[in-house]
Structure 1
Amino acid sequence: MTGEGFPLLVDLVDRGLIRILDLLFVRKDEDGSVTGLEIADLTGDGELDLSVFEGASSGLLGQDDIDEAATALEPGSSAGIVVYENRWAAPFSAALRRSGARLVASGRIPVPDLVAALDAAEA
């Protein structure tokens, strides 16, 4: 983990677009065991780069989430698990509900599927 994406995550939080509810780091060791990782100084400047997320623990993530993430990890690799709220969505959703709309479905499109669909549309 290089920490390259964290400034982007911090920017989303700073701009009020998302709120971090849980942030957890896991590492799968070469022997297959999984351990939690501490938030650390990612740039080596002596500063805790992710202090903005200190205490981000809603309790939504549990051992089952860690175990599921571990199945996707190769030995010797690590991952971050983040639960976030799209803060931009709340006022939008509330306005729609006030006007009589209702949610009938929800979902996320995985990035690789979106890229494949866009590539196919261009072809």
Structure 2
Amino acid sequence: MTQLDVGPIDYLAVALPAAKMQGDGLKELIDLSERGIIRVLDLVVGVVAEDGTVTAVEVADLDGDGELDLAIFEGVRSGLLDDEDVAETASLVEPGQAVALLVYENTWAGPFVSAMRAAGAEVVAGGRIPAEQVAEALDLLESI
């Protein structure tokens, strides 16, 4: 893969109440990865103890059902996240909770950007519009 074939890289930090992952989030993450829409570059979980100390844990049985939930992502580490990133993000949650940090490539965009560059175009900016702003704008349009 050349640098031109890399899509935009994003990250998400997700607070996990009671330090457990529940619901369909894991299924959706696996589905997005298997369909090639994203490529997971880092997946780290930081558990915040009652005394506030943070421990980065291996991806394991996060929902307590006895099965390795994220075996497909076991050992995924790009080096983009370090212990300081985990500690900083863990400061956003309360003791007794955990935070999952996900760094991923938007693989769908890589071939598009490469094709545009081959045609002489150049990506000059990128960004993210917060979901809340999008929802507000759509609600406003629907009310007109």
Q: Same fold per TM (> 0.5)?
A: yes
CA shift, 1:117, in A, is 2.4
**For residue 133 of structure 2, what is the aligned residue in structure 1?**
113
**For residue 78 of structure 2, what is the aligned residue in structure 1?**
58
**For residue 51 of structure 2, what is the aligned residue in structure 1?**
31
**Matches of 1:43 and 1:28 in 2, distance apart?**
17
CA shift, 1:18, in A, is 1.0
**Matches of 2:106 and 2:123 in 1, distance apart?**
16
| Structure 2 SS opposite 1:113 | helix
- Displacement over 4 Å in runs of 4+: none
CA shift, 1:3, in A, is 5.1
2:30 pairs with 1:10: yes
RMSD: 1.7
Instruction: Please say which of residues 67-76 and 86-95 is displaced more in the overlay.
Output: 67-76
Number of aligned residue pairs: give it.
122
Query: Larger relative contact order (C-alpha < 8 A, sep ≥ 6)?
Result: 2
Q: 1:70/1:43 Cα in 2 relative to 1: closer, same or farther (>3 Å)?
A: closer
Between the aligned residues of both structures, percent identity stands at 50
TM-score, structure 1 as length reference: 0.87
Q: Which runs of 5+ in 1 are unaligned?
A: none
**For residue 86 of structure 1, what is the aligned residue in structure 2?**
106
